């Protein structure tokens, strides 16, 4: 199993919309590194849903629900289906992430503009501990 962070601007597609929809196509990604990350996803992988821009916080958990497939609007890029997995108790802000030395190597800090990034199981478990106290 792999672990991911998937970023979305809340005014484009919010966590609340994800909860209502239950499942959605994660498409429109136009960065090659993010596309390559999507291509490595497998059904059952888990991802943090991250609100970018104004909120800048991990707000929930999604599960990868399909194999990668060509993005309908541009087949040179890749989409994936994600489904609602669970609500976290406490959102984890980017400010809190940056202040925590245990997360200093998180791609969210090192590659802040990347919209889909893999994280380690160790980082996943640590973030879960911070969001579920």
The CATH number of the domain where 123 resides is what?
3.10.590.10
**Which pLDDT value is given to residue 50?**
97
Q: How many domains does one find in the chain? A: 1
**Which pLDDT value is given to residue 25?**
97
CB 61 within 8 A of CB 47: yes
The domain of 87 spans 3-131
Q: Provide the whole-model pTM.
A: 0.95
- Name 41's Cβ contacts closer than 8 Å, sequence gap at least 6: 2, 4, 64, 68, 80
CA distance 122 to 128: 10
Confidence tier at 132 by pLDDT (50, 70, 90): confident
Q: What are 54-107's pLDDT values in tens digits?
A: 899 999 999 999 999 999 999 999 999 999 999 999 999 999 999 999 999 999
Q: What are 93-112's pLDDT values in tens digits?
A: 999 999 999 999 999 998 88
């Amino acid at each position: 199993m792999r672990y991911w962070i998937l970023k979305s601007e809340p005014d484009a597609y919010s966590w609340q919309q994800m909860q209502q929809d239950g499942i959605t196509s994660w498409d429109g990604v136009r960065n090659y590194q993010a596309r390559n990350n999507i291509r490595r996803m497998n059904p059952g992988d888990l991802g943090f849903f991250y609100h970018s821009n104004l909120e800048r916080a991990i707000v929930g958990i999604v599960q990868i629900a399909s194999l990668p497939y060509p993005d309908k609007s541009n087949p040179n890029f890749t989409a994936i289906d994600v489904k609602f997995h669970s609500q976290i108790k406490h959102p984890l802000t980017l400010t809190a992430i940056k202040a925590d030395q245990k997360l200093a190597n998180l791609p969210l800090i090192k590659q802040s503009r990347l919209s889909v990034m893999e994280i380690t199981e160790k980082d996943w478990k640590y973030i879960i501990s911070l969001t579920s106290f």
